Structure 1
Amino acid sequence: MGRTRIGALLLLIATVAAIVWVNIAPAAYDLVWGTRIVIGVEDLRLDFTLHGFVNDAVMAIFFFTVGLEVRREFAIGELTRWSRALVPVIAAIAGLAVPAALYVLITSGTGSEGAWGVVISTDTAFLVGALALIGPRAPGRLRVFLLALAVVDDIGALCIIALVYTQNLAALPLVLAGAGLCGIFFVRYLRSGRGPAYAVLAILVWLCFLASGVHPTLAGVAIALLVPVYRPNRRDVEHALDLARTFRQSPNSEYARAAANSLRESISINERLQTAYAPLVAYIVLPLFALANAGVRLDASVVADAWHSPVLWGIVVGLVVGKFLGVFGASWLTGVFRIGTLGPGLGLDRVAGGGVLCGIGFTISLFLVDLAIPDAETQNIARVGVLAASVIAFAIATVVFRVTDLVHPMTEIGRVLVRPVDPERDHVFGADDAPFTLVEYGDFQCGFCLKATGAVEEVRRELGDRVRYVWRHAPLTRYHPNAQAAAEAAEAAALQGKFFEYEHSLFADQEHQLPTDILRRARDLGLDVEQFEADLNSADVAARVRDDALDAEAMEITAVPTFFVNGHRHVGPFDAASLIRALEQTAPVTAGFRP
């Protein structure tokens, strides 16, 4: 079971434990979370309840990881190009606005209209965990879509917390916080001691936010947005490998330390921090938050009051109906007006399930209950609404995914090429109007793909101008650790018009695909090596390979090479005679040609 599922399970267990605890021993629950915590000496001290410490201090770590993810997605992830991010961004904005509008409409005149922020946010941890548990088969592209949406959703929620639910601002602490953030930005230029510098400045910034009136958890977001992120540089990776080889030849502590430091430095600080803090957030921070905030009293009088409360129905309708209408409706409209497109294999039926799943608004929704609602009784009703909406959304999404899998089974989708050949995008060898089309999904480190190159060459010799050949990436990184890097290198070569030449060089020597080998091939082919290296580190190149890999997953391609002949999946031997026979038997009848 992956970390995502374990984290979601722990969050669920902590939620149930909090509900059981508060209903069995409410006095003990209130006593524990009302415990005073004093940090400091004499006049320089912080005074929290345990509940307040979790929400104001511990949750800053959660918001820090959210900020790291936002920063990464905009720098090297799915949100680097507006054209790629357009649909999830529009869907996320609609998913913020529609639930808020429905909540205000339902609670109008009750005095609780201002709590509309409770229904705006989707819980990313539960969203990803639920998708892993109940999502459709091959959910990769839907997962990418929902994660991009969740990042924008988080940005919206954080902005609303800062702009709407922050009062009594103090100017001097804000100025000091700004100075601390400037210091955090320049820490990246230190040659050593960056870790302690980040830690000290982060604590000071958090204290300044706390004193300023801005909710201190937002300090975590502000700090994370200033942490540098970049794709690993091939030269840095090669240097780390050289040091590791030196350590293997002469094992001693100095070489070990140098190799470890070099490996660590080849990865951006952002990604190192995400790796370090993700388990802490999943296994400790969020379950602790749920234990402190999900304690909902469910006696008969509370349930009766909640049932008749516009606040409860505003939250349930806002999250369950509003999120679905916002996400699904916006995705549908972008298609109608051709503003953007969904990826191959990601239809509106799957977006519908994802839209319903976005109604799980747990962490930030519960977090905002305390900020947006002053009355304790109404807070309890609001928590009932958040939990009820999350359960309902999960149940409906389960049904939607099961129905769509029955209506559109993956076995049918896998038989047909989900993304038609596009000469502007694909790597095509042959005429665009050729009557035969052969598409291969493969990886450059696969021995069977190497053997298939001979068959493809023979097919091209036999059929000549009547066939066009298309290569697409399906790197099996679980078995071929260098396949991803090789695919990205081929894409970088393609930007200089040398894709097939680079492909040939990769297959000619599959044993040597390390960073130095990748650069050597670029020099041997006469490429602009400086530009080649820059392209290797670009988000566009990585996204191009990831797109092909997601297409392969959508068609359940688990082994390479996999061929599609005239748009249909080829089953059986892939020798030249078999491929030619399949091409001739499945070719459409065209003017002037009949197979």
Structure 2
Amino acid sequence: MEKIGTIASIKKEATIYKLTNPFRWFAKFGATGGLILFFISIVALVWANSPYQNVYEDFKNINLTFSIGSFVISKGLILWINDALMAIFFFVVGLEIKREFLVGELSDIRKASFPIVAAIGGMLVPALIYYLFNQEGDLRNGWGIPMATDIAFALGFLALLGSRVPTSLKIFLTALAIVDDIGAVIVIGLFYTETIHLIPIVCAGCIFVSMIFGNRLGIRTPWFYLIFGIFLWIAFLKSGIHATVSGVLAAFTIPSKSLVDGHLFVKEGKSLLNEFEVSFSKTKTIKHSQNSLTTKQESIVATMETACEYILPPLYRLEHSILPWVTFVIMPIFALANAGITIEGDLFRSLSHSVSYGVIGGLFLGKPIGVFLFSFIAVKLGISKLPEQTNWTQIIGIGFFAGVGFTMSIFVASLAFLDSNSLLTNSKIGILIGSLLSLTVGMIVLRFQKQK
């Protein structure tokens, strides 16, 4: 009877796995994030231009209030999304930036120079193109919009090309997008801040130093950084500097070193596994349930679990635990709230606005031109080296992928044209069309490249 029960249990587990396996595959597939963002953006556009347009606007402006005693934060839902949820997104971006500088593609200056130079060109040329068309008044504020790259969207659709894109190109786009994110954080912190309040800035500085001090003391529990990170976010929110900057700064304080040496971990791991194997072999000869562990075996497993926690730094654990929430929850919510553009009147009239074609020109032309031109000059001067298994046509294709600004560009646009709905709408139209053109041409260029 016990064997029959075991076989039935195995069959049940196998059936569940077959049913859920497509969903697991979809969740792990590289293009998932980009495809979800694309679908949600279509939903937002249709909703914003449907008979239920008022429901969409009411949804974005639902007022949410948080208060403790006399301390009150009251904002519309879209501001909570742009200020709070995006701070979590930038926290993950900060973790990725720190990891890349420690052990990734940006840790070696010889490898990092190529994407860094390319990213600088991919930021300067689009900003210049936008500024050439918008040099007056509030129009100038949008120069930072075409500088950004949506890493999730770009990498997601690049994954659809599969083996046609060499790994070196994917690494190049990732590093380029991360440098773009660094530039976006600097632009937001320095140029999209109207009024700075000194006391909250001092408080933010003290909190930031406390988090660094906690790192130095060896505090590794996420709760310490979560609590201090919330206070850091509140301080930036009240300071006048955009609150998302707090996410990047908080990420830089997260411990990134293992508590145990790798050789010691291997030695202790083998010892614990051998001990577990001996204990398990003994229990097999005794009538004992195979689905339960003895007290000694539980102790061994708990010790192994602690050893794994010691070898894995909090930086790695936090990034991998938060990233799915950012990919499948935070960014889709942001897209739903911000991508819904209400197109009133003639679409072509909106496209003829200098802000729209400034953004389109910056993303669709400025990005590939800047990425190619700066990286080409850097290689010719001997500053950088072209990645292995790539050619200049592929670099141009990646330049078009870098022109997929989308969520990052929309976020910068919401800061640049905070007080002008018409300019914000025109900029969003430019972002959507510029990103779509860049994505289409980038896919075509890389799709028909011969594999080496």
> TM-score scaled by structure 1?
0.66
Segments of 4+ in structure 1 off by > 6 A? none
The yes-or-no answer on 1:306 pairing with 2:350 is: yes
Shift of 1:377: 1.3
Q: 1:136 to 1:398 in 2, by over 3 A?
A: farther
Pairing 1:359–2:385 present? no
Q: Is the 8 A contact 2:87 2:243 kept in 1?
A: yes
Which residue of 2 is the match for residue 195 of structure 1?
A: 222
Say if 1:193 and 1:352 are closer, same or farther in 2 by CA, change over 3 A: closer
- 1:399 maps to a residue whose letter is I
Q: 1:245 to 1:34 in 2, by over 3 A?
A: farther
Aligned partners of 1:337, 1:329: CA distance in 2, in Å? 12
**CA deviation map 1:169-209 (0-9, x unaligned):** 11121111111112212323556672221111111111111
CA 1:119 to 1:192, structure 2 compared with 1: closer, same or farther past 3 Å? closer
Report the structure number with the largest CA radius of gyration. 1
- CA distance 1:334–1:191, change in 2 (3 Å): closer
Displacement after TM superposition at 1:243 (Å): 3.8
1:66 and 2:110 correspond: no
Aligned to 1:177: 204
> Which position in structure 2 is the counterpart of 1:325?
369
Q: Which position in structure 1 is the counterpart of 2:65?
A: 38
- The range that moved more, 375-384 or 177-186, is 177-186
Higher mean alpha-carbon deviation, 292-301 vs 305-314, is at 292-301
Q: Which runs of 5+ in 1 are unaligned?
A: 414-595
Instruction: Name the SS for the 1:4 alignment partner.
Output: coil
Provide the rounded CA distance (Å) in 2 between the counterparts of 1:128 and 1:342: 20
Which segments of 5 or more consecutive residues in structure 2 lack a partner in the other structure?
A: 1-25, 281-293
Number of aligned residue pairs: give it: 406
Residue of structure 2 aligned with 1:158, choices 185, 190, 194: 185
Deviation at 1:139, TM superposition (A): 2.2
Higher relative contact order (CA 8 A, sep 6+): 2
Structure-1 residue corresponding to 2:44: 18
Q: Describe the shift of the 1:298–1:262 C-alpha distance in structure 2 as closer, same or farther (beyond 3 A).
A: same
Matched, 1:4 2:39: no
8 A contact 1:135–1:398 mirrored in 2 = no
Q: Deviations over 1:88-127 (max 9, x none)?
A: 1111011110000000001233640121111111111111
The 1:26/1:192 distance shift into structure 2, 3 A limit, reads same
Aligned-partner Cα distance in 2 for 1:341–1:193: 39
Q: Specify which of 42, 55, 59 is matched with residue 28 of structure 1.
A: 55
Inter-partner Cα distance in structure 2 for 1:387 and 1:381: 10
Q: Does residue 341 in structure 1 map to residue 369 in structure 2?
A: no
Higher mean displacement: 250-259 or 166-175: 250-259
Q: Deviation at 1:398? A: 1.6
Question: For 1:357-384, what per-residue CA distance to the aligned partner results, in whole angstroms no more than 9, with x for missing partners?
Answer: 1100012211111110121011111111
Provide the C-alpha distance between the structure 1 equivalents of 2:139 and 2:56, rounded to a whole number of angstroms. 26
* CA shift digits 1:381-411 (9 cap, x unpaired): 11111111111011111211133x2xxx32x
Shift of the 50–240 alpha-carbon distance from structure 1 to 2, 3 Å rule, reads: farther
**Offset of residue 5 of structure 1:** 1.4
Q: Which residue number in structure 1 is paired with residue 265 of structure 2?
A: 237
343-352 or 236-245, larger mean C-alpha shift: 236-245
* CA shift digits 1:106-162 (9 cap, x unpaired): 123364012111111111111110110136614200011111111111111100000
TM (norm. structure 2) is 0.86
1:242/1:172 CA distance change after superposition, 3 Å: farther
Q: Return the letter of the residue paired with 2:377.
A: L
Aligned to 2:233: 206
Percent identity of equivalent pairs: 32
Q: Give 1:378's match in structure 2, choosing from 409, 423, 435.
A: 423
What value does the CA root-mean-square deviation take over the aligned residues? 1.9
| 1:229/1:246 CA distance change after superposition, 3 Å | same
Mapped pair 1:139 → 2:172: no
